[in-house]
Amino acid sequence: MALSDGFLQELRDNNEIISVAQSYVELKHSGSTYSCRCPFHTEKTPSCHFYPQTQSFYCFGCGAGGDVINFIRLIESLDYIEAVRFLAQRAGMPMPEDANDESAQKRRRLYEINRAAGKYFHTKLYSPDGREGLDYLRKRGLSDDTIKRFWLGYAKDDYHDLHFYMRGLGYSDFELADAALLTQNNNRMYDKFRNRVMFPIVDLRGNIVGFGGRTLSDDKKIPKYLNSDETQVFKKRGMLFALNYAKNSKADYFILCEGYMDVISMHQAGFDSAVASLGTSFTAEQANLISRMGKNEVILSYDSDEAGQKAASRGINLFAEAGVRARVLKMDGAKDPDEFIKKFGADAFRELIEKSGSAISYEMDKLAAGLDLRTDDGKSAFVKKAVVFLAGINNSLDREVYTSRAARLSDIPADTVRSAVEAQMRKKSYYAKKRETAELIRPNKKDTVNPESLKMPREEKAERGIICFLYHNPEKFSRVEEKLNGKFVTDFNRKVYDFIAKKLKNGSVIDISSFNEEFDSAQMGRITGIINDTVFAFDETALNDYIDVLNQYNLKKDQKNVFEMTNDELLKFAASQKEKKK
């Protein structure tokens, strides 16, 4: 839907971008700007900058950018109208009528469907049909209070139980499939979840966005856990189970677990900062999400089997890249946190947390596992592995501490180990720069926003220069339009230019927020990058050069061979050439 300029201006005034961003990232003030590690990609040094004067942000690493609305679009995974509504609620502003907005309607409909399905599953759990599911949860030690708090439920072993119930509420098969509650095979629609204990997945605002289901069948061919497919409101890689509760915990750490039952058992035992990934490997997006939640560190509480150990190592690396401190639990006598708490109690688990070691210590112990450090061969093998590992530690103090530890364990002088680590770091840096250079000059490198830019880099640069100039000098639009013969060369830049032209012809004021309704979040990032590249923003000589570049391209493209021209075309061509010389 179209939102008035007045409403959008009031929305931005009431949601100053620095204030909003500080709710998600740690900003550092430098001169007239603020910077942080980008929340939209993994990086070690800050490349995301916020500009109070223009109320915009831009990441020089991944190209994300825009105004406060686009920031919320990206960080909350919302569409445009939902981001506007989010900020309006934050500022206590009523939303204009949006009944005709299809995207907003669809999201609301999905939330309604998931809420209705969650209520049905929960009711079914306490019905005669759900006895098997309720027995399973009680055998796992869950109280009724916990079951109700997490709104756990049961999906009957029937292909159309939920299907027909939801259809009776007025939801179509298409909508139910869009919500990932139905699946299709040979043009036949039926329930995705059957004979499963159901775990609703809730976003940070309290909406049910999907489900996880644990089978009660003994059939090994049936997957033990099944999760909702991704939908418009459910993106697995950027969500964590129970984060809606854990974010309010008074604990200064999160506990990261492998599964739903571990998390729920921990919450029941009083460890209300426990979260879990959603049936997938832990991702960089989830690590960045945790880094924005304001906790000091994360405790990895994975199963003690080989798969759990590998998952812990992956999590350690991702948290290091996201700038989050990590510790690792070592559980003896139990395969997972749920079993440990049942066998030894909550106090024992709390003591386990207090004694948990740093992630670096955990990895160092793994390097030494299976080696006899009393022998020269064992020492040599350990140091070779340790040098590679130590070279990957970014914090210089941590690196020095554990370099000394490696030296003591191997009985090798610390200076020798330190020199080897520094040599490995130089080697690593060299190859990293080489890969970065190769990436920059790679001929097949894709530009998903403006793919034509690679074929016509000179013309595309000229287009960016004209767009930037017009944004900062809208009063010069008539002159630019008069001198510019023909259209922009690339589709994306042409769309941006046409948008600006339309606004200016209507007498509208152009700012970064003006673009939100017609451009997606990735395109908003590109536009923000263009208008913030102000080297030639006020240089009319550079502007004339840019216009000439496009005029020359269009002339060559459209011009016929003079021998093929009619007399009238020759006269027009001669006149255009004469005008150009002026």
Distance between alpha carbon 30 and the CA centroid of its chain, in Å?
Answer: 26
CA distance 37 to 322: 8
Q: What DSSP string runs through 155-202? A: E-S-SSHHHHHHHHTT--HHHHHHTTSEEEETTEEEES--SEEEEEEE
CA distance 86 to 522: 19
pLDDT at site 435: 62
Domain ranges of the chain: 5-91, 102-234, 236-358, 370-441, 451-581
For residue 78, the surrounding DSSP H or E stretch is none
Distances (CA, A) of 122 to 151, 155, 166, 183: 6, 9, 14, 21
DSSP state of 100: T
CATH architecture assignment, domain 5-91 = Alpha-Beta Complex (3.90)
Cβ atoms 490, 460 nearer than 8 A: yes
CA distance 315 to 502: 49
Q: Which fold does the domain 236-358 belong to in CATH?
A: Dna Topoisomerase Vi A Subunit; Chain: A, domain 2 (3.40.1360)
CA distance 321 to 189: 43
Nearest 5°: CA angle at 370, between 367 and 374?
95
At residue 228, what is the residue type? S
For 485, phi then psi, to 5°, come to -95, 110
Q: How far apart are the first and last CA of the chain?
A: 46
pLDDT at site 443: 47
The CATH number of 102-234, from 2.160.10.10, 3.90.980.10, 3.40.1000.10, 3.40.50.2000, is: 3.90.980.10
Distance between alpha carbon 420 and the CA centroid of its chain, in Å?
Answer: 37
Taking the CA of residue 390 as centre, how many other CA atoms within 13 Å lie in the half-sphere pointing to its CB?
29
Q: What DSSP string runs through 275-322? A: EE-SSS---HHHHHHHHTTT-SEEEE---SSHHHHHHHHHHHHHHHHH
| Tokens matching residue 38 | 């980008």
At residue 340, what is the residue type? F
Q: Which of 557, 553, 561, 531 is nearest to 471 (CA)?
A: 531
Averaged pLDDT, groups of 10, the chain, 582 residues long? 78 92 87 87 83 89 91 86 88 73 79 96 96 96 96 96 96 95 90 97 90 94 93 88 92 91 94 87 83 82 69 75 82 84 91 83 82 90 89 79 89 91 85 58 66 88 91 89 86 93 85 84 90 78 90 72 63 64 52
At residue 510, what is the residue type? I
| Tokens matching residue 390 | 């130590």
CA distance 40 to 59: 9
Distances (CA, A) of 385 to 327, 371, 415: 21, 11, 17
pLDDT at site 24: 85
Which residues sit opposite 257 in a β-bridge?
A: 276
CA distance 313 to 328: 10
Q: Which of 286, 291, 235, 288 is nearest to 61 (CA)?
A: 288
CA distance 493 to 489: 8
Helix and strand counts by DSSP (H, E) for the chain = 25, 16
What are the residues whose beta carbons fall under 8 Å from the beta carbon of 94, sequence distance 6 or more?
88
pLDDT at site 455: 86
DSSP state of 552: H
Cβ atoms 31, 50 nearer than 8 A: no
